[in-house]
Amino acid sequence: MRLAKTMGAVAAGAALTLGLAACGGSGAGGGGGADGAAGNGDDDVKIGVAMPTQTYERWIQDGNNVKKGLEDLGYSVDLQFANDDIPTQTQQIDSMITEGVDVLVIASIDGTALTSQLDAAAAANIPVIAYDRLIRDSENVDFYTTFDNEAVGVAQANALLRGLGYLDADGKETGEKGPYNIELFAGSPDDNNAGFFFDGAMSVLQPLIDDGTIVVPSGQTDFGQVTTQRWELETAQKRMEDLLTSTYQGGEKLDGVLAPADVLSRGIINALQSAGMGPTLEKGLPVVTGQDAEIANIKLIDDGVQSSTIFKDTRLLAEQAVKATQSFVEGNDPEANDTKTYDNGVKVVPSYLLEVQTVFKDDIQPVLIDAGYYTADEVKAGQADD
């Protein structure tokens, strides 16, 4: 692997301190760090953490958890959120490289837009960890920490089928045969995860579409037709409104919606309720899935409005990212548990994948409250303290 950048910085720092021109230092030298101040150990290690946006609660949690974990190791952290704006994110990463960070942890907005930043990072010997979202089209992605993204899609489809009554809580067929009318939504097309989620879901749903158990009345079943640019709530809400107008005016019944993220689920539920459906599942609101276990959606699930979500414990993801960062700082390769799945178009990136859990109303207590992710009061309020 590439030399950890701290070693290069040590050499540069030593050369500066001694007033020497750089002349073939091997990188072997004690103490020192990114700031070139000798002898301060980890205090001098600085990590750049680039997160996409604060409009999804999860990214705020991700950013804060990664920052805290790194600070607990004695590193300093430059944490930036980019407001889902690609130029803002590229600029933030450029500055991190200029300020001499030792490792970059990046949750990209557009996974294909960072090639020149990653080239610059490689030239400066800065290892890059792709966080949750794979960075594509670059050989300079050194590691990837994420959840099993295909499994997320499979879990969403199975949760939809359970909500519809086709599967029971154990995943077995109930004997109900539908047919069920559903509509499909996918995430942002520039996010590598969106395709994994959708493909995972369709691996379950397509056979049922083929045999007529499931019908998609709009006919929109291709990824390109169902994506939601930048994962925006308003975009999903608008598409749901348009679908209701174009396809469901004639009394056609809508039974369920595959929604790939909780923020989008909220937009979709807004559209359904505004059209007079529900307002709860009991009162006929279509079954809507989700992802991320956002606190507002957990309240909706608790209130019998949203059917399910997929919980991805961002605390564990942050922990993995912190471990991988520490490995790079210490000059080692992080431990991977998947070296096959994530081809970014140039190479297969060694990855660490975490498992996910499906959450229906009955799972809120054991999965989220007992595990300390939310308190019962937060669930009731639909808002997290802190």
Element of type H or E holding 17: helix 5-18
CB-nearer residue toward ligand BGC: 44 or 191: 191
Contact between 301 and 266 under an 8 Å Cβ cutoff? The reply is no
Binding part of the chain for ligand BGC, among 18-26, 111-119, 185-193, 327-335 by CB under 6 A, reads: 185-193
Under rule CB under 6 A, residue 67 binds ligand BGC: no
CB-nearer residue toward ligand BGC: 187 or 256: 187
Q: Closest distance between ligand BGC and the C-beta of residue 46, in Å? A: 26
The residue from 133, 136, 162, 299 that contacts ligand BGC (CB under 6 A) is 133
353 φ/ψ angles, rounded to the nearest 5 degrees = -105, 135
Under rule CB under 6 A, residue 313 binds ligand BGC: no
CB-nearer residue toward ligand BGC: 34 or 104: 104
Side chain identity at 191, as an amino acid letter? D
Residues that contact ligand BGC, how many (by CB under 6 A): 12
Q: What burial letters (b/e) apply to 74-100, b meaning 16+ CB within 10 Å?
A: ebbbbbbbbebebebbbebbeebbeeb
Side chain identity at 263, as an amino acid letter? V
Contact between 329 and 6 under an 8 Å Cβ cutoff? The reply is yes
Under rule CB under 6 A, residue 190 binds ligand BGC: no
Q: Closest distance between ligand BGC and the C-beta of residue 56, in Å? A: 4
Report the residue closest to ligand BGC, judged by CB. Answer: 261
Binding part of the chain for ligand BGC, among 173-181, 186-194, 300-308, 356-364 by CB under 6 A, reads: 186-194
CB-nearer residue toward ligand BGC: 214 or 269: 269
Tell me if residue 353 falls in helix, strand or coil.
strand
Binding part of the chain for ligand BGC, among 16-24, 187-195, 248-256, 266-274 by CB under 6 A, reads: 187-195
Closest Cα partner for 272 from 181, 188, 361, 162? 181
As a whole number of angstroms, the distance between CA 247 and CA 291 comes to 26
The residue from 144, 180, 198, 231 that contacts ligand BGC (CB under 6 A) is 231
CB-nearer residue toward ligand BGC: 102 or 313: 313
Q: Closest distance between ligand BGC and the C-beta of residue 217, in Å? A: 26
CB-nearer residue toward ligand BGC: 14 or 226: 226
Under rule CB under 6 A, residue 292 binds ligand BGC: yes
What is the per-residue DSSP string for 255-301?
-EEE-SSHHHHHHHHHHHHHTT--SSTTTTPPEE--SS--HHHHHHH
Q: Which two tokens stand for residue 151?
A: 């499994």
* Pair type for strands 143-147 and 180-184: unpaired
Under rule CB under 6 A, residue 342 binds ligand BGC: no
CB-nearer residue toward ligand BGC: 4 or 194: 194
What contacts 334, CB < 8 A, 6 or more positions away?
129, 143, 323, 324, 327, 328, 350, 352
Residue for token pair 């953490």: 49
The residue from 110, 132, 313, 363 that contacts ligand BGC (CB under 6 A) is 132
Q: Which residues bind ligand BGC (CB under 6 A)?
A: 56, 58, 132-133, 187, 191, 193, 231, 261, 291-292, 312
